[in-house]
Structure 1
């Protein structure tokens, strides 16, 4: 902690902004817990956005949060994090009222008023929550498993494994809201270990293990590392196998060596679980483009992934299916296994 006098004496703008962000977040959280906050709106440039969004990230999902910012049209992940913060581009600088800012700020005020006045209430639902991870290339698997789990009486929250999705899921597990995890798509670990743009950070896969939440984990989309447009791929990856998913998404095939590291990371993290856990391996491919006739089909790289998981499993249960990850039988096995773990006596 640092006092106001110390901040004044040091005259360090960066340190002052960090202290303000921390202080406002703490204050706003306290006010919310006292039921004195219905929504949060802030305006600012780089400093104001840092302070405003820090406060918003301290508040729960569902509370209206709106940041009018000069930075809203750029990379906003550091500001939004894993919360439901709306970013509105101010268009002009935050420097008085003019014909542009009047409209933008007016729209922002009306948007906040509308959200607060027309609060969305969740209908009563006491079904236990299951968190699942999905990518476009693992969608058939997750959708089929989801239907089976919902038929069994659970509500399934599906997270897009784009970094922010994985972090959001881990956060909800930490908050004690999740009864079970169907972590089909662990692709974020590939980005974290190899250097892609969709990493969820080093703590991915740890929350369920730490809190003993039953989990079934697979290796969905670990055949790929994600980048933006083709011209944004770092030069050190020249000569690698790429697949242009669309104009703004470039996928790079993971090598056998990288897959070995990814498998080791998955096995070692899941092996620390305090609750029941199973790793499920689809031997015929881990994504829609990792199968016979598809651009990322690579049996050697797949086997390196599976072999490292087997080697570092410890006492962990592993199920191997001679199926592709998107085969109905694989989804059914994943759902059945999670249901079994959820009903397993402690």
Structure 2
């Protein structure tokens, strides 16, 4: 029987050996076992690992000597990353991993976080990185997982007056997470996922309140480019009883290279059968950091500064229709009972009469696409209201509850005057 918990430590030990050894010893001082893995390629390790770089290469189906002989850095890093991911996944499957921490610069962060992303959400993950600051975008490293990114401040080379307390804090952080993981089991209510934006929050809050009274637990995902894909990963992991994809801004941003775009949104519905209520919240704007950073063609469009890092721009009716067609193509392949519900007055807070980005022509273009394009098994419900009006939230909650009760989408839609 396992008596001690284990933290896996990832570091290239030719340059990070001293820091990795200090991190290992600090973690061990908590009474934890450690497994130190070296995914490096060149140089000589200055500390003995528990899993060598040669073993990492073997886990990728090759040898370290063969990789070095090729003389191609990109191939070496890709294969060592593959091997590390395979090892970490195996350790998890065998019950030999209760948390993982990695240290590194650009390459070390890429390799370390790749291994973290093979682990389920909820497993403690900490990346102490030189690039966890500045203008670097963290999306490629974090992906859809719960990775804690910690800035190392100094480069990671040795243990010195500045790096020592930072390394110790990292050790204490991962040790504390590992010692407290997993949470005590408890009986959970059936879970419904919902996508949310600040501009659709009033609707989500009302939907949440209604469905909670029916015995469901609501888990919101911020549709910011990673939230939607994270939800879809968990859909395919079987974590939800139903999904309300209310806020789908990631679709239009994904098509037009906006800041919060996500490719292949809604694909999970084509691979996993789950009751789904889908709307068009946030499908009525494009997002860039500022006017200066927006493509020139959009700079003179109606716009609204959301904050210092985000400015929203009004798409054309055709751009909104294009996003609608992308949604329709995936919804028509949905495996589970699916219903689309659209608020005809506006799809976000600033798209309503009197507001900055009111776009009735765009709204109508979207509605026409859904009316023409959905297959009969995916009915369309139109509610003459704004997305944040209580009557619309009530209809969303009711449709979700009825689908979960086993009512057919066409029968649910008929209650709102839709024809099957």
- 1:39 paired with 2:99, answer yes
Task: Please name the residue that 2:34 is paired with.
Answer: none
- 1:25 paired with 2:85, answer yes
For residue 266 of structure 1, give the secondary structure of its aligned residue in structure 2: helix
Render the CA deviation track for 1:159-211: whole Å, top value 9, x for unaligned.
Answer: 0000110111000011111110011101110101122011122x211112321
- 1:51 paired with 2:51, answer no
Render the CA deviation track for 1:261-285: whole Å, top value 9, x for unaligned.
Answer: 0111112211111111000010011
Work out which of the two has the higher radius of gyration on C-alpha atoms and give 1 or 2: 2
Alignment partners' CA distance in 2, 1:337 and 1:345: 9
- 1:152 paired with 2:152, answer no
Comparing 265-274 with 284-293, greater Cα deviation is found at 265-274
**TM superposition score normalised by structure 1:** 0.96
> Do 2:291 and 2:299's aligned partners in 1 also have CA atoms closer than 8 Å?
no
**TM superposition score normalised by structure 2:** 0.80
For residue 292 of structure 2, give the secondary structure of its aligned residue in structure 1: helix
Alignment partners' CA distance in 2, 1:23 and 1:123: 33
In the TM superposition, what is the alpha-carbon distance from 1:127 to its structure 2 partner?
A: 1.6
- 1:214 paired with 2:275, answer yes
Residues 93-104 of structure 1: matches in 2 within 5 Å?
A: 93-104=155-166
For residue 184 of structure 1, give the secondary structure of its aligned residue in structure 2: strand
Alignment partners' CA distance in 2, 1:161 and 1:11: 42
Comparing 167-176 with 231-240, greater Cα deviation is found at 231-240
Alignment partners' CA distance in 2, 1:265 and 1:209: 13
Alignment partners' CA distance in 1, 2:407 and 2:205: 28
Comparing 135-144 with 229-238, greater Cα deviation is found at 229-238
For residue 195 of structure 1, give the secondary structure of its aligned residue in structure 2: coil
Alignment partners' CA distance in 2, 1:264 and 1:118: 46
In the TM superposition, what is the alpha-carbon distance from 1:126 to its structure 2 partner?
A: 3.4
Task: Please name the residue that 1:259 is paired with.
Answer: 320
Comparing 114-123 with 148-157, greater Cα deviation is found at 114-123
Alignment partners' CA distance in 2, 1:2 and 1:120: 33
Alignment partners' CA distance in 2, 1:237 and 1:296: 14
Alignment partners' CA distance in 2, 1:333 and 1:172: 25
- 1:3 paired with 2:58, answer no
Structure 1 runs not aligned, ≥5 long: none
> Do 1:209 and 1:273's aligned partners in 2 also have CA atoms closer than 8 Å?
yes
Alignment partners' CA distance in 2, 1:125 and 1:335: 23
- 1:288 paired with 2:369, answer no
Task: Please name the residue that 1:75 is paired with.
Answer: 137
> Do 1:53 and 1:80's aligned partners in 2 also have CA atoms closer than 8 Å?
yes
> Do 1:208 and 1:214's aligned partners in 2 also have CA atoms closer than 8 Å?
no
In the TM superposition, what is the alpha-carbon distance from 1:225 to its structure 2 partner?
A: 1.1
In the TM superposition, what is the alpha-carbon distance from 1:309 to its structure 2 partner?
A: 1.3
In the TM superposition, what is the alpha-carbon distance from 1:306 to its structure 2 partner?
A: 0.9
Task: Please name the residue that 2:228 is paired with.
Answer: 166
Alignment partners' CA distance in 2, 1:209 and 1:257: 25
Residues 66-145 of structure 1: matches in 2 within 5 Å?
A: 66-73=126-133, 74-119=136-181, 121=183, 124-145=186-207
For residue 162 of structure 2, give the secondary structure of its aligned residue in structure 1: helix
- 1:246 paired with 2:307, answer yes
> Do 1:181 and 1:208's aligned partners in 2 also have CA atoms closer than 8 Å?
no
Q: How many residues align?
A: 345
- Give the superposed CA RMSD: 1.4
In the TM superposition, what is the alpha-carbon distance from 1:119 to its structure 2 partner?
A: 3.0
Alignment partners' CA distance in 2, 1:284 and 1:71: 44
